[in-house]
Structure 1
C-alpha cells in the first residue's frame, strides 16, 4: 500500500460480516492498512461458515461451535470496530456515510459492500428457509423418522437438504418446476443422474411441478392440488441484499454492479454473493453464490481498494455433497452449448464431464472422481483453452469422436 493510499483510507467500512467481508478485513491488515476497519453484520454472531448449514449442521455431525470462520483471538488481532446485530439502512456517497438501522452514521473513506443475499419466499403460511444458523437449527428439529418434509426447489441447497432429511428417515417430497434438477446449470443428462439418486433414496421427486403457495399442512401446486407435509422448506433461490443502496447512485441489477476490478464507484467495491461483476476470463457479467468465490472476491476487493488495480478473473468453483456423491465443478457452466462425458459413466455415477460455450472450454464437473482428475481441466479453463485443443490434450479419445 502506498503512502497516499494510507493517507486517504483512514477509515474503511465493510458492510457484511460474511466470508467475503472477513477476508476483505484480513487482506486490508495484511496489506498494511493501519486505520479503522468497521465490520457491520446483521447477525449478532461473528462471521461463520454457511455451506455446512445444509450438510453437517443439518445432519448433526457438527455442532454450532465448529462454524466460526476465525477464533476470537484471530479476530481480536485484526483490531476491528465490529457492529454486529445491525443492518445498513442507507448509503450517502456525498457525505461518505453509512446509516445503520439503529440510527448511527458510520463515516468511511473506502467502502466494501458484502451484504450477501436472502432467501426468496412463497406467499401463504410460514415456511422454513435455510440461510442462517438459526434457520438450520430450526429445520433440524423437524427432521427424523415419522416426520415429513416438502422441499420446494431442487437446486443445490434444496437437494442437499432433501438428501440429509431422507438419510435421517424423514419422508421427503422434492418439488421442482424444471424437467430435471439443475438442468439450466449442469445439463439435462447430469440432472437426470441427480434425480435418480433422490429416487433411489426414497425421495418423492416431482419435476415439472410448480408451487403457488404454502398452506397449512403442505404446499399448493400449480394444478390446485396440495402436496402434504409436516414441514416445508422453500429453496427457490435468493435476492441480493441491495435495497439499502437504493438512491445511492450505484447501479443495481440483480446485485451490485461492479467492473472487472470489483469497483462499483470510486472508493466503493463489492464482494461475495451480492456483487455482479464483469469477469474478463469469460467475457461476461456474473454473480456467484459460492463460498470459495466469496473469500477470493473479498481479498480482490480489498487489494483494489488499496490501489492494486488487478482484474478479478477467477475460475468459479463449487462443490456439493448429496448422499454418497461428492460433486465438484469449475468454470461457468450456465448457458453452455455442449456437455460431454470424457471419463467414467453416468450410470455408475462416477464420471467427469466437460462443457463447451462457443468455441472454448468453459467448465468441468466431476462426481465420484478424485480431485486430481479435475485439476488439468481447471488449468485449461483458466488459460482460456479452445474446446478442440483441450479435448485433444486431455481427452484424446473423446476428441476423436467429436
Structure 2
C-alpha cells in the first residue's frame, strides 16, 4: 500500500507552516510544497516595513532555511505554480506539465493585490505590494522618488506611508472611506492613527477618490486626478486597496467559492479530501458567528496547525482567536479579537502619551482590545479570550484603577 501523500499548493506562511506542522505532529507520508515564486517561503509583514526601509535583506525574510525541508523530507517545488486540479483522479498539474498525486490536498494559495480600476492604472510607477518582487521593485523606485502617493488607508498603505515618510519622501494618502482602517479598528483608533500620520507630515485625504492617473511623455505616472478635479503630483503611486482571494484553481475544479474558498469548521472544502487555509479561505468563525476571511499571519499559522492535526488523526474545529498587529513610526498597534459591531469603547491609559488600550464592547461583551504600545493588555486579552475565561464588563473596565493584570490574577488564568 502506497504511503499517504499530502500536496500543499501555495508556499506562503500558511503553506510552509502546514508542511512543518505535519512533520512535527508525526505525519510520515510524502509531503510536497508547491510555490509560484522562485524563492524559499518568506515572511510578508516586513515587506512594507523593515525590508522596504532597507533594514532587512531577502535572506532575513526566509521562514525556514533550505535545509529544513531536506532534513524533514519535504519536497519544495518553486517557480512552478499549480494550474489544474483533477479531483476525480486526485492529481494536480503544474505549469511545467508535471503532475502530483495526492491523498489530501491543502490549498494555501493566498490572495492577489486588487488593481485600481481607473484610466492610467497601468502607467510606469504605479505599483502594488504583495510579494517579495513587488517590495524589491518598490524599494528600488523609492530611492529615486521625491513624492509618493498611497491610494488606500489600510494596513499596507499606512505602513508604506510611514516607511516612506521616515525615508524623507513627501507622502500623500488618499482614502475613499471616511476614516483610516475602517474595517479593522474602532473610530477612536482611526482618529489616533490619522493624527499620528499628520503629525509626521503625511497629507491624508479622507472620503476622496482617485478617478484617473496621468503620465508624462515617457509613460511614467506624474499626477493623480481626484473627484472634483484636484490634481496631486506624484513620482510614484502605491495602490493599497485590498486583496482578492485566489479562487481560480478551486472554482475551475468545481469547489464552492464566494469571497474565498468556502470551508467548514474543520477547514474542509466541499471536497472532503481538499482543505483551504490562510488568505484564500472563508471559514465559519465562532468568535463572530459569521463566516470570515482573514489576512493575517496568526490565522495562516493557526489554520495550518489545525489542518495538520486533522491529517494526523486528531481533528478539531478551528477556533483560534484572531489577532493582528501593525507598526507605524514608533507606534505598535496590537489587536486581539474582532471589534466589528461594537457599541461602546473604554480607554485604558493615556492616548496623549502614546501608550493606551481601547476596549471594544457590544453590550457587556468584550469583542476586542486595541493596544498601542501596551503589549501586556494585548497578551492578557488573548489569554483570557483563548481560555474562555471571564472578561471585564464595560463597568469594570471603566472603574478607577482597573488593570488587566490584576483582573487576570483575580480570574486565576
**How does the TM-score come out when normalised to structure 1?**
0.91
CA–CA distance in structure 1, aligned partners of residues 175 and 63 of structure 2 = 33
Shift of 1:9: 6.4
What per-residue deviation string (whole Å, max 9, x for no partner) do you get for residues 124-178 of structure 1? 2331111111211211122258611000001111000000100100011111011
1:29-72 Cα shifts (integer Å, max 9, x gaps): 12222221111101001101110000101111111110111112
1:348 corresponds in structure 2 to 353
Post-superposition shift, 1:346? 2.7
Task: Specify which of 234, 242, 245 is matched with residue 237 of structure 1.
Answer: 242
Corresponding residue of 1:322: 328
Partner of 2:252: helix, strand, or coil? coil
Aligned pair count?
A: 390
Alignment partners' CA distance in 2, 1:95 and 1:121: 35
The secondary structure found in structure 2 opposite 1:162 is: helix
Shift of 1:76: 1.3
Gaps of 5+ in 2: 216-221, 403-413
Q: What are the within-5 Å matches in structure 2 for residues 122-133 of structure 1?
A: 122-123=116-117, 124=120, 125-126=122-123, 127-133=126-132
Q: CA deviation at 1:267?
A: 1.5
In structure 1, C-alpha distance between the alignment counterparts of 2:341 and 2:296, rounded to whole Å: 18
**Secondary structure of 2:134 counterpart:** helix
| Structure 2 residue 378 is the aligned partner of structure 1 residue 374 | yes
**Kept in 2: contact 1:90–1:246 (CA 8 A):** no
Greater alpha carbon shift after TM alignment, 177-186 vs 319-328: 177-186
Partner of 1:211: 210
Q: Equivalents in 2 of 1:35, 1:234: separation in Å?
A: 42
Superposed structure 1 runs of 4+ greater than 3 Å apart: 383-387, 389-399
**SS of corresponding position for 1:57:** coil
CA deviations on 1:103-144 (whole Å, 9 max, x unpaired) are: 322211001110111100114233111111121121112225
Alignment deviations for residues 322-353 of structure 1 (CA, whole Å, 9 cap, x no partner): 01101111101233333321x11233332111
SS at the partner of 1:373?
A: helix
Aligned counterparts of 2:383 and 2:396: Cα–Cα separation in 1: 12
Give me the CA root mean square deviation.
2.1
Distance 1:335 1:214, change over 3 A: farther
CA contact (8 A) 1:117 1:273 kept: yes
Q: Which residue of 2 aligns with 1:182?
A: 181
Q: Which residue of 2 aligns with 1:121?
A: 115
Aligned residue number for residue 153 of structure 2: 154
CA deviation profile, 1:284-316 (whole Å, cap 9, x unmatched): 211111112211111111211333220111111
Q: Choose which of 4, 23, 31 in structure 2 pairs with 1:29.
A: 23
Match of 2:316 in 1: 310
